[in-house]
Amino acid sequence: AQRVTQPEKLLSVFKGAPVELKCNYSYSGSPELFWYVQYSRQRLQLLLRHISRESIKGFTADLNKGETSFHLKKPFAQEEDSAMYYCALSGGGGATNKLIFGTGTLLAVQP
Amino acid sequence: EAGVTQFPSHSVIEKGQTVTLRCDPISGHDNLYWYRRVMGKEIKFLLHFVKESKQDESGMPNNRFLAERTGGTYSTLKVQPAELEDSGVYFCASSQRPGGVSYEQYFGPGTRLTVT
């Protein structure tokens, strides 16, 4: 079955500390992985996707097919990083490209 | 450029009533998706339109849910009759026509549906 697992509901860190939001997936095929973020009172928006292999707002994520993981990392957290983060997988076959989401992790960066 | 819009932002109805949610995608986006987040659970896919055609409706929970996209522009999602378990946030997203690589899905602000 296709599934995305985010084991942490809440991750609280202090400003300047490293951050790692965990994401594991289950998918039979070649997945496309994403991280979406929802800041307070804002809509869900794409943060980064694995095929881009880029760093956005200091965040990076590497697809590890052996461990079926796509963890999101940032070396030094900022208060403005506080938000809900969702890991998502694109799959389902055909041309639908529907997103399969994890349950999300709330990142709280303390001053 | 205007983003994806959804109406209403919040709807409170009684069990057994009917509610219609509307989504206006970004102009020119052929693909329109509906998702739902029920309290405490993950955001789940409901269905996908390509223009006015339903590409995938495998996520629709039951026949009380009816989605339409007449003319390939805006879409409506009707729940009739509503049940308590239908409460949640309904998201709409749109993307350009996929061409072998997934296009970014742009999300609307969501409609919070409360069934009492």
Q: Copy the structure tokens of residue B10.
A: 């919040």
Read off the pLDDT of residues A9-66 as tens digits, 9 standing for 90 and up. Answer: 999 999 999 999 999 999 887 888 999 999 999 999 999 988 777 888 999 998 998 9
Q: Do B56 and A102 touch (CB under 8 A)?
A: no
The shortest CB-CB distance from A103 to any of B3, B42, B48 is to B42
* Beta-bridge mates of residue B51: none
Low-confidence ranges of chain B (pLDDT < 50): none
Q: Sorting pLDDT into bands at 50, 70 and 90, what band is A2?
A: confident
Q: Copy the structure tokens of residue A92.
A: 């389902």
Q: Sorting pLDDT into bands at 50, 70 and 90, what band is A95?
A: low
With CA atoms as reference, report the closest residue to B47 among B21, B26, B27: B21
Q: Determine the pLDDT at residue A7.
A: 96
Q: Which residue's structure tokens are 């989504």?
A: B23
Residue B85 — left, alpha, or beta (φ > 0 → left; ψ -120 to 50 → alpha)? alpha
Residues of chain A contacting B92 with CB distance shorter than 8 Å:
none
Q: Determine the pLDDT at residue A96.
A: 67
Torsion sign over Cα A76, A40, B97, A69: positive
If one compares A49 and A106, the residue with the highest pLDDT of the two is A106
The shortest CB-CB distance from A101 to any of B42, B56, B101 is to B42
- Identify whether the C-beta of residue B105 lies closer than 8 Å to the C-beta of residue B95: yes
Q: Do B42 and A102 touch (CB under 8 A)?
A: yes
